[in-house]
């Protein structure tokens, strides 16, 4: 797998691994903790060097899982985690990016991950009660203290990104981006290009939809986040099916899978984009890794570029409460 460069010279594999689903959000895990450790280590064997977690995943247990998995291979990989939530009695009760909270979370994440430095430390969501300059300045202090290497922002608006970057250089913005979620294109991606900031798409496979494995009549188990997402409602899934059908036809013509086409399209957008598809299965891990070898012609890219606008996407990507937290 080839290497890409995010902002501030941070070099990572072209695809990372999102680890959230190993601990939450997609219903019962089909594997054991040992199975998930095997997936993470197998990803490293396949050339993945970039692993994504957060204190709120679990909460806390996902960092512990990732920490255990990367222990023997720490010198081969880079780990990103996130701060920004007020976690009490094992659940998030709101946002908290006050400087003292950021410092507290950094120390706790270092312990849970079992590392001496966090490679990339994201603010998970913008806290409207804390000036972004204070957030960036606090992370800058952690960088100077040797506890953090790079500063990132998640689901941030372009204006806030510029303010943060002026205080301490931002290495990466992480936001949802895929063939059916194009929100970053008008403002955030141009701002990243202007500032030299990398971009890390989460849910690059549309929470599984773009793999072509979600039936239009699908229902989701308790604990599966898709049960709360409008795009996966019974009224919207059939309307969205033509989009993935189009991707499937191209995949069949190229001897690839729909998921590989979706990842290849993202990789072709900018050289500083590093998607982080998540999986709990070795077979899907191998499939995703092979997407880096799928080439798209200029005509195929152009066709995919306007696919969502041409075919249409029904339903928001989150419920109203969560949508209010993004793009600030």
Map the chain to HEC letters. CCEEECHHHCEEECCCEECHHHCCCECCCCCCHHHHHHHHHHHHHCCCCEEECCCCCCCCHHHHHHHHHHHHHHHHCEEEEEECEEEECCEEEEECCCHHHHHHHHHHHHHHHCCCCEEEEEECCCCCCCCHHHHHHHHHHHHHCCCEEEEEEECCCHHHHHHHHHHCCEEEEEEECECCECCCCCCHHHHHHHHCCEEEEECCCHHHHHHCCCCCCCCCCCCEHHHHCHHHCCCCHHHHHHHHHHHHHHHHHHCCCHHHHHHHHHHHHCCCECCCCECCCHHHHHHHHHHHHCCCCHHHHHHHHCHHHHHCCCCCCCCHHHHCCCCC
Rg of the chain (C-alpha set): 19
Cα separation, 147 vs 169, in Å, equals 16
Active-site residue among 26, 57, 122, 177?
57
Which tokens belong to 216? 């239009």
Cα separation, 153 vs 84, in Å, equals 10
Question: Does the annotation mark 57 as catalytic?
Answer: yes
**Catalytic sites, residue numbers:** 57
């Amino acid at each position: 797998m080839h290497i890409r460069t995010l902002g501030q010279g941070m070099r990572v594999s072209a695809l990372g691994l999102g680890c959230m689903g190993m601990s939450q959000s997609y219903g019962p895990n089909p594997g054991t903790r040992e199975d998930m450790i095997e997936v993470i280590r197998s990803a490293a064997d396949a050339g993945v060097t970039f692993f994504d977690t957060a204190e709120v995943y679990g909460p806390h247990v996902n960092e512990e899982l990732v920490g255990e998995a990367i222990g023997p291979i720490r010198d081969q990989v880079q780990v990103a985690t996130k701060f920004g939530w007020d976690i009490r009695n094992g659940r998030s009760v709101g946002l908290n990016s006050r400087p003292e909270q950021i410092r507290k979370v950094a120390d706790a994440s270092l312990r849970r991950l079992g590392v001496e430095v966090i490679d990339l430390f994201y603010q998970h969501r913008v806290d409207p009660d804390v000036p972004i300059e204070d957030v960036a300045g606090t992370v800058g202090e952690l960088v100077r203290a040797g506890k953090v290497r790079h500063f990132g922002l998640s689901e941030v608006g372009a204006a806030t990104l510029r303010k943060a970057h002026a205080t301490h250089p931002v290495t990466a913005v992480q936001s949802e981006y895929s063939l059916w979620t194009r929100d970053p294109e008008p403002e955030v991606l141009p701002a990243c290009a202007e500032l030299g900031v990398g971009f890390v798409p989460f849910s690059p496979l549309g929470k599984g939809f773009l793999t072509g494995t979600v039936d239009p009549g699908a229902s989701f188990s308790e604990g599966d986040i898709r049960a709360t997402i409008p795009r996966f409602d019974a009224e919207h899934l059939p309307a969205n099916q033509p989009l993935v059908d189009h991707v499937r036809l191209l995949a069949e013509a190229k001897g690839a899978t729909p998921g590989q086409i979706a990842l290849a399209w993202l990789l072709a957008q900018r050289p500083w984009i590093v998607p982080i598809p998540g999986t709990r299965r070795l077979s899907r891990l191998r499939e995703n890794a092979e997407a880096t070898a799928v080439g798209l012609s200029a005509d195929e890219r152009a066709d995919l570029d306007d696919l969502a606008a041409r075919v249409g996407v029904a339903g928001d990507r989150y419920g109203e409460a969560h949508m209010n937290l993004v793009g600030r």
